[in-house]
Amino acid sequence: MATLVSFAPRESPPETLKISKPGSGGGTLIAHSACIMKIHLCAAAICVLTTSRFAQAQLADSVVATTAEHYPAAKSGDLPGKIAINVLRASAGIPIEVGKTTTLIAGAGYELIDAEPTYANSLQLHSVKGVFGIDQRIDKRFELVLLGEAGLASDFRDPVGSRDLLLSATAFATYSFTDSFKLGAGAIYDRRTGELKPLPALLLKLKVGERFRVRGFAPVWLTAEYHLFDWLDVGARANLDGNRFHLGKETWQLDNAELAYSNFTVGPKLTFNFTDWLHLDVYAAGAVYRRFEVFQNDESYLRSDLSPTIGYGARFWIAPSGW
């Protein structure tokens, strides 16, 4: 993230929303969270009335979720100072059954990346997208899922244009060997690695006994969990997050600039089950790979890797627990 040095000096406040660091009030983050919680309450009413197969999780383990993460300041290549990262994500999906074997999928997602260097103003990157797709059961064991996403990803300092567009697609098929073992394979076509290209994907749902399971849609997410008590699960998680954002000329002094990031984390987690539908994950996120790359006119301009660090996060989600 080397070109962060081109930010305006600190005495010139950024025009975008400022997210305070932990301990400094966090007013904006609290405001974002309060708004998202209202959305969750409305979405929860829909979810409770829904008994679709998709509500039992195909690509994700929830129909509604909000995540907040903080990664402490870390070195970025040979640049002076350090960079801290705050992340806020929210998503919701509504499955619509149109037949005994067909379910339509509609949803939305939001992501906020807040980069706070010690030597410049913070940078806020926003992503808003809609999700649409179909879940088609071929027979008792085979299932086909097709998903598309469209939205905007930018710092929104310039007028919205074609470079703000966010497009992705996912397709995979699954086979249920038993009620406790489902395996699927397919591909993801998005910018999770910074470039728009296909990635192979593997879906896994494995339950061993009544208390242990492994679930995931690699390379996006993977969890291993042990159901210790009715109210508590313990386990480990791995996630690969990424996106590509259009950057305004005012921010970077470059025309047609984009910032891509990839963030791979692993670590332990606890899940508190308030009911069979309401859950809270708290976890440590060991960021072992963090790649930031600036593109100009779709050509790589500069790349920087942040040093590994241990972050932490919390995730509130709504869905049947599956236990």
Q: Per residue in 245-302, pLDDT tens?
A: 999 987 778 888 999 989 999 999 999 999 999 999 999 999 999 988 888 888 888 8
Pairs from 123-126 (Cβ < 8 Å, separation ≥ 24): 123/4, 123/7, 123/14, 123/16, 123/155, 123/251, 124/14, 124/16, 124/17, 124/18, 124/19, 124/155, 125/153, 125/154, 125/155, 125/243, 125/245, 125/259, 126/152, 126/153, 126/154, 126/155, 126/156, 126/245
pLDDT of residue 128: 96
The per-residue pLDDT for 190 is 79
pLDDT higher for 305 or 8?
305
Q: Residue 193: pLDDT band by 50, 70, 90 thresholds?
A: low
- Helices first, then strands: H and E counts in the chain: 2, 15
CB environment 34-62: b (16+ within 10 A), e (fewer): eebeeebeebbeebeebebebbebbbbbb
Structural domains present in the chain: 14-318 (2.40.230)
User: Considering only CA atoms, which of 292, 297, 272, 295 is closest in space to residue 282?
Assistant: 272
Cα–Cα distance, 67 to 90 (Å, whole number):
6
**Percent above pLDDT 90 for the chain:** 56
Q: For residue 45, what is the enclosing H or E element? A: helix 27-48
Q: Which of 44-58, 135-149, 168-182, 193-207 has the lowest mean pLDDT?
A: 44-58
Pairing, β 102-117 against β 82-97? antiparallel
Higher pLDDT, 53 or 122: 122
The per-residue pLDDT for 288 is 92
| Whole-angstrom distance, CA of residue 110 vs CA of residue 128 | 5
Is 273 in contact with 231 (CB distance < 8 Å)? yes
Confidence of residue 192 (pLDDT cuts 50, 70, 90): low
Residue 20 has pLDDT above 60, yes or no: no
- Exposure string for 124-133, b = 16+ CB within 10 A, e = fewer: bbbbbbebeb
pLDDT band at 154 (very low <50, low <70, confident <90, very high): very high
Q: What's the confidence (pLDDT) of residue 60?
A: 60
- Tell whether omega for the bond before 72 is within 30 degrees of 0, i.e. cis: no
Please state, rounded to an integer, the average pLDDT across all residues of the chain.
82
Per-residue exposure over 257-290, b if at least 16 CB sit within 10 Å of its own CB, e if not:
bbbbbbbbbbbebebebeeebbbebebbbebeeb
Of the chain, the percentage scoring pLDDT greater than 70 comes to 79
Q: What is the pLDDT of residues 26-70, one digit of tens each?
A: 444 444 444 444 444 444 333 333 333 433 334 566 789 999 999
Is the predicted pLDDT of residue 6 greater than 80, yes or no?
A: no
Question: Per the confidence metrics, is the pTM higher than 0.85?
Answer: no
Return the residue matching tokens 């085979």: 142
Query: Within a 13 Å sphere around the CA of 29, how many CA atoms are in the beta-carbon half?
Result: 21
Residue type, 261: Y
List the structure tokens of 62: 């929830």
State the pLDDT at residue 251: 73
Among 235, 226, 211, residue whose Cα is nearest residue 315: 235
Q: Measured between alpha carbons, how far is 78 from 318 in angstroms, rounded to an integer?
A: 42
Instruction: Determine the pLDDT at residue 299.
Output: 85
